[in-house]
A and B are shown apart, each in its own frame.
Chain A
Amino acid sequence: MSTRIEKLSERISELEEENGNLRRLDETVRRNNALFNALLVNCSAGITLTGPDRRIVRVVRGLTGIDAAQLAGVPLELLVVPEDRDLVVECYRRLLRRTCEKTSFEARVPRADGTITRFSLTLTDMLDDPNVQGIVCNYVDLGCAAV
């Protein structure tokens, strides 16, 4: 009986230690998230993560004023004016064919308020990075554009 109680106490100590480690880890993650968000607030560029099929996985930082939650699953080319959609598709094809790891282009993007602005976009193939596994789209607003 006493051996069992000893074993149980040992197990409880192990679990308490494990729990303490997890709490510390959780605190680190929380702090890193806060730091990341703070850095983003002061950043003028936008970041969107997409799948290889061009569908938006997550808008990390948007610049169009459109609700980010509504954009999940929407193909990226649908966010640019129809005349520039083929350009977006072609850039993704180039990335997937591995002719380059990064490609930049300019496209006209309608904002939530109806105005059309010119964006400079850079696509980076990060499909092989196990922490990202996607194509990262970074963009900066170049200002209003005539269609």
Chain B
Amino acid sequence: MVSLKRYLNRTGEEVVLRQAVSLLLEKFASAAVVADERDFQAFRSDIEQLRAHADSDIAADGLLVDIGSATQALETYNRGITRFLHRQSAEMQSIVGMMTETVLKIGGEHTRSARRLQEIGDRMEGAGNVKDLVAMKSLLGDCLSSFRDETLRQKAEAENLIGDLRREIEATRERTGADTRDLDPATELPTRDACLRAMHGAVAGGKRSYVATMVVNRVQSINARFGHRAGDRVLHGFGEFVEQQLAPSDRLFRWTGPAVVALLERTEPLEDVRRQIRKMLEAHLDQTFEIEGRSVMIPVSAAWSVFPLITTVSTAERQINTFIASQHSHDFV
């Protein structure tokens, strides 16, 4: 309801002044920038109170006090907005910084995206208002989209590369006769089948080769006392040791049970090869196990035999098995 009382004793200039003040305060409230919704509502509420006060029956000098208070409230509110915008800008800058760093780390192909992100980061430092930030957000979206496309492209490329590598590995495997799918789980050595393939390859290749059969002693006894896991560890350790000692052209295989077979490509006479194997297996291969807090040292040794691969593979296979069988009776529990 409009009160007429306050207009009765007032001059025309005073009435115009009151209307101007009311209009000004209304504009203060409606034209303020909305950054934080809670701050904005608090500011509007303050201005509405001042406007109500100005509309009430107060003296002209009281109006000046209301205008002063409103201006102060506006200044405070604007400072809050500036702080809020700076905070948001800093946050976005740090996000852009992190993304740039990540993109650069991922790889050289993303340098274009990284450069764009850096540009956005630089422009963000100069951003002064919400509109600028909105524009930056849109640029960032574009950049992320191209980054995503680039990543998908790289993923497809990597898949192709993996496929090529797999085919290459298969081809190498066929060439060398080794098949990593045939690895023995306990020793991580190629199995007997891989050994037979390699022996066929060596016979066909016509190169001078020797077969060394090594039977780890007391594996059955170790299995019975300390469990099969301990026996497997002994075999694994033995295989690892022998592999380290052999020449790069030699190959080691898990034959069966406690036996491993090495295929040695050598030009030396048999006696020399025997001497090398004897020397290699003279080393102390003891292994220590922790069993329920108690450490137990297990001495590891092996019986061995070396013969030249000059006959057929089936004869060599028979010779290996005969030697292993002759050692079996020594491994009593």
B256 interface residue, CB < 8 Å from A?
no
* Contact indicator B294/A98 (Cβ below 8 Å): yes
CB-based contact A134/B225 at 8 Å: yes
Report yes or no: A58 in contact with B294, Cβ–Cβ below 8 A.
no
* CB-CB under 8 A for A52 and B333, given A96-B291, A128-B296, A133-B296: no
- Given contacts A57-B333, A130-B299, A52 and B294 within 8 Å (CB-CB): yes
Most chain A CB within 10 A, of B221, B224, B292, is at B224
Q: Which B-chain residue is minimally distant from A73 (CB atoms)?
A: B224
Number of interface residues of A (CB under 8 A): 16
A residues sitting closer than 8 Å to B (CB atoms) are: 51-53, 57-58, 72-73, 93, 96-98, 127-128, 130, 133-134
For the complex formed, measure the closest distance between the CB of A94 and the CB atoms of chain B, giving whole angstroms. 11
Shortest Cβ distance from A54 into B: residue: B292
How far is A96 from B293 in the complex, measured between Cα atoms in Å? 7
What B residues does A51 contact at CB under 8 A?
224-227
How many Å lie between the Cα of A58 and that of B299 in the bound state?
Answer: 20
Interchain nearest-CB distance for B237 vs A (Å): 16
B297 within 8 A of partner (CB): yes
| Bound Cα distance A89, B41 (Å) | 76
The CA-CA distance from A138 to B246 in the complex, in Å, is 46
Q: Report the minimal beta-carbon distance from B253 to chain A, rounded to whole angstroms.
A: 28
Decide yes or no whether B298 CB sits under 8 A from chain A. yes
Residue contact A96 to B225, C-beta cutoff 8 Å: no
A136 → chain B closest CB, angstroms: 12
Q: Quick one: given A58-B333, A128-B297, A133-B298, are A52 and B292 in contact (CB under 8 Å)?
A: yes
Residue contact A52 to B226, C-beta cutoff 8 Å? yes
Most A Cβ at <10 Å: residue of B226, B227, B333: B226
Q: Which residues of A contact B227 (CB under 8 A)?
A: 51, 53
For B224, give the chain A residue with the smallest CB separation: A57
Chain A residue numbers with a CB within 8 Å of B294 are 52, 96-98, 127
> What is the interface of chain B, defined by CB distance below 8 A to chain A?
221-222, 224-227, 291-294, 296-299, 333
Contact of B292 among A93, A130, A133, A134 (CB under 8 A): A93
Between A and B, 5 residue pairs with Cβ closer than 8 Å are A53-B227, A57-B225, A72-B333, A128-B296, A133-B221
CB distance A133 to B225 under 8 Å?
A: yes
**Given contacts A57-B333, A58-B333, A134-B225, A52 and B291 within 8 Å (CB-CB):** yes
Give the distance to chain A from B269, nearest Cβ to Cβ, in Å: 11
6 A-B pairs with least C-beta separation: A96-B294, A51-B225, A52-B291, A57-B224, A127-B296, A96-B292
Residues in chain B near residue A58, CB distance under 8 A:
224, 333
Return B216 CB to nearest CB of chain A, in Å: 15
Looking at the assembled complex, report how far the CB atom of B229 sits from the nearest CB atom of chain A, in whole angstroms.
Answer: 11
Chain A: minimal CB distance from B326 (Å): 11
- Least Cβ–Cβ distance between A100 and chain B, in angstroms: 13
Question: Which of A52, A57, A73 is the one whose CB lies under 8 Å from B296?
Answer: A52
- Once bound together, how far apart are the Cα atoms of A128 and B205, in whole Å? 49
Contacts of A133 in B (CB 8 A): 221-222, 225, 296, 298
| A73 partner residues in chain B, CB cutoff 8 A | 224
Query: Distance (Å) between the CB of B96 and the closest chain A CB?
Result: 60
Q: 19 new A-B pairs (CB below 8 Å) besides A52-B291, A52-B296?
A: A52-B226, A52-B292, A52-B294, A53-B227, A53-B291, A53-B292, A57-B224, A57-B333, A58-B333, A72-B224, A93-B292, A97-B294, A98-B294, A127-B294, A130-B299, A133-B222, A133-B225, A133-B296, A133-B298
CA distance A134 to B227 in the complex (A): 12
CA A79 to CA B226, docked complex, whole Å: 20
Give the chain A neighbours of B298 by CB distance below 8 A: 133
